[in-house]
Amino acid sequence: MMMNYGKRLGAGCRVWAFAAALAGACASGVPDTDPAKASVGGATAVPPPAFHHIHVNSTDPERALDWWETFWPAGARTTVAGLPAFEADGVYLLYNAVDAPAPGAFDPEQRQSVPQSAFWTTGPSTDGLALYERLTALDPDGERFGFLPVHTGPDDDEGVPHSGLAPFGDQLLTVAEMAERAAREGANPARDRASGQDFGYLVDPDGILVEFNGNAATEDLFYGHLHFWHEQPLCAANWYVAHLGVTLPPLRDPETGETAPRPPYDPCAVEIGDVSYPSFLPMGQLRTPIASVRLANAGWMWYSRQCRDGRCGPDLDRPLAPSRGQVVDHVAVTYPDLDPVLAHLEATGVPILEGPYPFGGTRAVLIADLDGLSLELIEAGSD
């Protein structure tokens, strides 16, 4: 698997504070002899893309739009390229009506999308407690807005509706770190709701896992989370930087505060760390390695595929599935001009799966990343 990633790379934010620290610990210099990280000679430079939309295959777009309007009243219904859409903060959920339910809906019992693609979750940054209280007041029985359990530790079989209710829910901690904190502060330490994290999960009518994250001091942002799974998150980040024009978060000198560009991850295929809590997975979440990238208007983050080494049982321990045709069919970004992007893809051997094809008043192409997530690249223009 690691060799495959190296060969394919050669051929071709708004995140929790701990993520940036972990990402910084994994970066190092890049030897010119490493084809997985070397620049591609003669390739056209790609400008930074902007996050545009998530494309959803839905049996009932109107029902989904009703759900999102209630969930996020600051957003609004609209149309994009002739398709129904929900817009907030300049980003869209774009709906394609289908006759039968698409695969890839999140299954709360199995705690993953089935089959699992590289797409994990989307959702806002907001005051988590306020969102929880508003939605439970609107839907006390949880028929429309049922919150998934967030497990507080390896012995918690029931979970809590959002992490702010967990004894150490304001931090992401390994089991050993939780024990150390309990020894210092007791089993249920006091906490300031305006500091630390608070997150939770719901599932929308089509089966998209929705995560909200934030505290009393958080400014609302509809696209605060766009998280993905990858076989090797750091290798995925290198691929996105090499081919889509995104950037890695800069390195910061802890003594001077000055920043510098972060080189590609070397090595990018690294060992997986310990699980941490709180987590929607009762066995804990694998949060290292972790990688994030910056777009013109957003940040994306990648984690390791969770159901590996028998953690979820043998039936779910399988590679990520292609996203095309699933509930979340693809994720889309825009560029001011598609021509340099197309020239770069041709020069670096990244295949175009479809297109160019019309997209509203402009054009787009479809490609796929290392783990089969379809990506629509759109030329900015009139929808």
Distance in angstroms (rounded) separating the CA atoms of residues 51 and 226 = 10
Residue 334 and residue 331: Cα distance in Å, rounded?
A: 11
Other Cβ atoms closer than 10 A to 227: 18
List, for residues 203-236, the tens digit of each pLDDT value: 999 999 999 999 999 999 999 889 999 999 999 9
**Above 50 in pLDDT, residue 107?**
yes
How far is it, in rounded angstroms, from Cα 46 to Cα 337?
Answer: 10
Are 23 and 292 within 8 A, CB to CB? yes
Is the peptide bond prior to 264 cis by the omega test (within 30 degrees of 0)?
A: no
Residue-wise pLDDT for 277-328, tens only, equals: 999 999 999 999 999 999 999 999 999 999 999 999 888 889 999 999 999 9
Assess contact for 269 and 42: CB atoms under 8 A: no
CA dist., res. 82 & res. 300, Å (int): 27
Structure tokens at 244: 């889509």
Q: What is the pTM of this model?
A: 0.88
pLDDT of residue 44: 65
Which pLDDT band, with edges at 50, 70 and 90, does 22 fall under?
Answer: very low
Can you tell me the mean pLDDT for 264-271? 97
CA–CA distance, 127 with 117 (Å, rounded to integer): 29
